[in-house]
Amino acid sequence: MTTLSIPDMSCGHCRASITQALQPLPGVEAITFDADNRTAEITGPVAAATLIAALDQIGFPAEVRR
């Protein structure tokens, strides 16, 4: 499981765009959002760098939340 901080995620449309970018990636099993903390929790065997790169491509800078 990887938790990403996505500061620019502010609405349902943002979450839909993020889901569309991440769901097709090999290894992504589930995505859970926390709108208040602007985070996404991704379940499955996928590298954090792969997730971050996919989000960068659609204009949502992200970083691993520790």
Domain ranges of the chain: 2-64
Does pTM top 0.85 for this prediction? yes
Please state the length of the chain: 66
For residue 65, report the phi and psi dihedrals to the nearest 5 degrees.
-95, 125
Residue 51: predicted pLDDT = 97
Closest CA to 55 of 6, 16, 2: 6
Residue whose pair of structure tokens reads 């769901």 in the numeric block: 23
Residue 4: predicted pLDDT = 97
Q: CATH for 2-64?
A: 3.30.70.100
pLDDT at 7 over 80: yes
Tell me the pLDDT tens digit for each residue of 8-56: 999 999 999 999 999 999 999 999 999 999 999 999 999 999 999 999 9
Instruction: Kindly provide the residue ranges of all beta strands, DSSP E only, lying in 1-66, ordered along the sequence.
Output: 2-5, 30-34, 39-43, 63-64
Residue 66: predicted pLDDT = 74
